[in-house]
Amino acid sequence: MAIPDYQTIMLPLLKLAGDEKEHSSREVKDRLASEFKLSDEERKELLPSGRQEVFANRVGWARTYMKKAGLIEQTRLGYFRITKRGMELLEKNPLKIDVGILYKYPEFREFKSYKPEGKKIPAVIKEEGKSTPKEELEDAYQRITDELAKDLLQELKTVSPTQFEHIVIDLLVKMGYGGSYKDAAKAIGGVGDEGVDGVISEDRLGLSRIYVQAKRWQNKYVGHPEIRDFSGALDLKHAEKGVFITTSGFNKDAYQGVERSSKRIILIDGNQLAKLMIEYDVGVTTEDEIKLKRIDKDYFVEE
C-alpha cells in the first residue's frame, strides 16, 4: 500500500500506546510500518532532501501533534506513553483521529495559533493562501525551532550535574569564550548546589575575564539574593563582567538587581540557553537543510 499520511497514522499510533507502557519512537515506527504492510522500498523512501525517511517523518509529526493535544506525553528523550486524556479518547472508539479532532483540545489550538516571539498577532486572521511561500516557510522554521528549544530545555533539566557542566563549557567555547575546551574545563567546575561556576577568558589572550555561574534548577526562579551573591563573587574573582545562566528563569527582583549593580551582568534563562545551544550546535544535529535560490540577473546581462 502507499505510505499513509500523518493523520492516518494517528489512530493506530494511539492504539499501540493504549497498553499504557513506555514506547520508543523507533519501536513504534517499525511496528506501524508492519501494521500498514509497507514494503522495504516504502520503508526506505526518502524525502526530497534525502536526509530522512518519509514514513519516519510522518510518524514523527503524528506523534508531535498528539503530544501537543495532550494525548501522549514524552517520558524521556525518544520515548513516550499515552496520557489519561489519550485513554479517554480511545474508550470512545473513534473511527479516526485527525487535526479536526485535535482542535477540540485547547492546548492544540494554542499550539496551532502560535506566533513567533516578536511578531504581532494580526487583528484579522489571514485568509488561507495569503502568505507567500517564503513567509510560510519562515514561520514553519520558527515554529520547529521553538518546539526544539522546549524539548532541549526539558532534557537540560534532567541531565546530571556533571553533564550540565560539560554542556555549559561546550556552549561557552563554541561562542568564543574560554579559549580551548581544555582551558575552559580548568576554569569552570566545582559542581554543587545543582550548578557550576568559574572564571573564563573573554578573549584568547586572557586580557579580560568573565565570571560564570550556571544553575540547573527545575522550577525555582533566580531572585535578588542570588544576584547579590553573584555580584559579590565578581569582586572576589576580580572580574567586572559576569554571566548568570539558569535552566529556570529570573524574577523581577533579579533583573532590578542587575540594573543596580555596578558590574556588567548578563542573565540567560532556560529558553535563551536552549536557543543558544541550537544556534551554536550544542546538543543538536542538523536533520535537514533547505536552500532557497533566486535568479542571478547579472548572469543574463550581455557584456
Show the low-confidence residues of the chain (pLDDT under 70): 1, 48-49, 114-135, 189-196, 204-206, 297, 303
Backbone angles phi, psi at 103, to 5 degrees: -65, -15
Please state, in angstroms and rounded to a whole number, the distance separating the CA atoms of residues 80 and 92: 22
The tens digit of pLDDT for each residue in 230-265 reads: 998 888 888 889 999 999 999 999 999 999 988 999
* Cut 0.75: pTM above it: no
- Mind listing the domains of the chain with CATH numbers? 6-113 (1.10.10), 161-279 (3.40.1340.10)
CA gap 193, 9 in Å, rounded: 45
Q: What is the pLDDT of residues 1-14, one digit of tens each?
A: 689 999 999 999 99
Of the candidates 284, 273, 155, the one whose C-alpha atom is nearest the C-alpha of residue 213 is 273
From 259, 223, 242, select the one nearest 177 (Cα to Cα). Answer: 242
How far apart are the C-alpha atoms of 18 and 173, rounded to whole Å?
A: 45
Q: Report yes or no: 72 and 63 within 8 Å, Cβ to Cβ.
A: yes
The residue among 200, 205, 206 whose CA lies nearest residue 185 is 200
Q: Are 42 and 3 in contact (CB under 8 A)?
A: yes
C-alpha cell at 293: 535560490
